[in-house]
Amino acid sequence: MSHHRTEDPLGAGFRELWDQLAPVGRDPDSGGYLRYAFTPAERELRNWFAAQAKRRGMPVTDDGNGNLFAWWAAPDTADDGPAAEAGTAATARAVLTGSHFDSVPHGGGYDGPLGIVSAFLAIDELRRAGTVPVRPIGVAAFVEEEGARFGVPCLGSRLLAGAFDPDRAAELRDADRVSFAEALGARPAGARPDLLARVGAYLELHVEQGRALAGGAAPVGVASAIWPHGRWRFEFDGEANHAGTTRMADRRDPMLTYAFTVLAANKEARLRGAHATIGRVRVEPNATNAVPGRVTGWLDARAAEPAVLDELVEAVRAKAADRARRDGTGLTVVAESTSPLVAFDDDLGARLARLLGAPVLPTAAGHDAGVLAGQVPTAMLFVRNPTGVSHSPAEHATEADCVAGVRALAGALAELACR
């Protein structure tokens, strides 16, 4: 007896692309990904992007900031989309979709790449159905979304949007002192209002990074807002000394101030219903038998309301400063990046939620969509994450839900770009 299962072409298409990406930049020990901007792994993904675009006859452009775009021109309009130099009619403004390739250290495979894979597959789905765009559709791959290499999250989209100074970006350095300009191979171009003026909407599909969809029936949700958030570098200075011979009373140990600050951040966040994390620390000289001379900890803080976030960071800073006085240590706090509250376009979000029958949910995770929302009507689709785990090798979404995501994205693109 033979069993004939009619294979969903989307399922097979998803598996094909997903299997191509799966080994790229994967650490065999942790099972997580090391896909930092412009490293060999991320360059391999960028080459894959170009190959996928070529396979679909989509010309690729870049914006001089490291962000890539592949274009499906609208045949019935004079405008070829932002790939063309000619002027554009407002009605022909492109619909952009996509996400990022880069990962956090030992991150999951879905955060970012799912949005790019889904974009190409949604285009395949539209073509299979014979749906033709009346506005150009672009697929975007934004660079350095996580800030894992150069410290500033959404660096590529911030540059494009004019929200980060290109001279400052050029000088950002990775752990090996390589600058962003060196990695990019040029000084970043910075703001491209010419390009953004030709984009009528940005729609980013992303794996959900919480459990808002996990309990429900819907595999896909629509984003309403992004919590304001930021990164603050806390530098604790003390005196490096011998661990065996230095009397306890004589020490100026920055590790103590740091440790107290970690606990204070947790407490202050809990008191306010906010989130605070110190997930990265550098100890100098980092020796078992030396009192450290300096400890640097990076605070990631987020809250639903900007005032609560300000209050939280101020409370942690005040407690750290107070503790530093008692420890005889020094404290310097530097804001490395801040991201304001983002409310996505209400009309666009409501329209997509209605179209897809999808629930609407906020998120505390940052996205390039949050940066672009300041310039173009922007929406996000979230694909259900059964555990909510993200920024971890355990991050996951089922194939069926990913396929539902592609279908939702195709439906959204048909609505926004094809009628």
Residues lying near Mn ion in the complex (CB under 5 A) are found at: 111-112
- The CB-of-365 to ligand HGY minimum distance in angstroms stands at 4
- The CB-of-107 to Mn ion minimum distance in angstroms stands at 7
81 contact choice in ligand HGY, Mn ion, none (CB below 5 to 8 Å, kind-dependent): none
- The CB-of-390 to ligand HGY minimum distance in angstroms stands at 7
366 contact choice in ligand HGY, Mn ion, none (CB below 5 to 8 Å, kind-dependent): ligand HGY
- The CB-of-164 to ligand HGY minimum distance in angstroms stands at 15
125 contact choice in ligand HGY, Mn ion, none (CB below 5 to 8 Å, kind-dependent): none
- Classify burial at 215, counting beta carbons within 10 Å of its beta carbon; exposed 0-12, middle 13-18, buried 19 or more: exposed
Q: Torsions phi, psi of 52, nearest 5?
A: -65, -40
111 or 401: CB nearest Mn ion: 111
Three-class secondary structure assignment of the chain: CCCCCCCCHHHHHHHHHHHHHCCCCECCCCCCECCCCCCHHHHHHHHHHHHHHHHCCCCEEECCCCCEEEEECCCCCCCCHHHCCCCCCHHHCEEEEEEECCCCCCECCCCCHHHHHHHHHHHHHHHHCCCCCCCCEEEEEECCCCCCCCCCCCHHHHHHHCCCCHHHHHHCECCCCCEHHHHHCCCCCCCCHHHHCCEEEEEEEEECCCCCCCCCCCCEEEEEEECCEEEEEEEEECCCEECCCCCHHHCCCHHHHHHHHHHHHHHHHHHHCCEEEEEEEEEECCCCCEECCEEEEEEEEECCCHHHHHHHHHHHHHHHHHHHHHHCCEEEEEEEEEECCEECCHHHHHHHHHHHCCCEEEECCCCHHHHHCCCCCEEEEEECCCCCCCCCCCCCCCHHHHHHHHHHHHHHHHHHHCC
HSE of 411, CA atoms in CB hemisphere, 13 A: 16
58 or 154: CB nearest Mn ion: 154
80 or 145: CB nearest ligand HGY: 145
112 contact choice in Mn ion, ligand HGY, none (CB below 5 to 8 Å, kind-dependent): Mn ion
Instruction: Report which residue's Cβ sits closest to ligand HGY.
Output: 366
- The CB-of-244 to Mn ion minimum distance in angstroms stands at 43
328 or 393: CB nearest ligand HGY: 393
Instruction: Report which residue's Cβ sits closest to Mn ion.
Output: 111
- The CB-of-412 to ligand HGY minimum distance in angstroms stands at 22
156 or 254: CB nearest Mn ion: 156
82 or 147: CB nearest Mn ion: 147
92 or 155: CB nearest ligand HGY: 155
327 or 368: CB nearest Mn ion: 368
- The CB-of-76 to ligand HGY minimum distance in angstroms stands at 37
113 or 349: CB nearest Mn ion: 113
- The CB-of-48 to Mn ion minimum distance in angstroms stands at 18
Q: Which residues bind ligand HGY (CB under 6 A)?
A: 145-146, 153, 365-366
- The CB-of-152 to Mn ion minimum distance in angstroms stands at 14
Q: Find all residues with CB under 8 Å of 418, minimum gap 6, and list them.
A: 126, 131, 132, 133, 134, 135
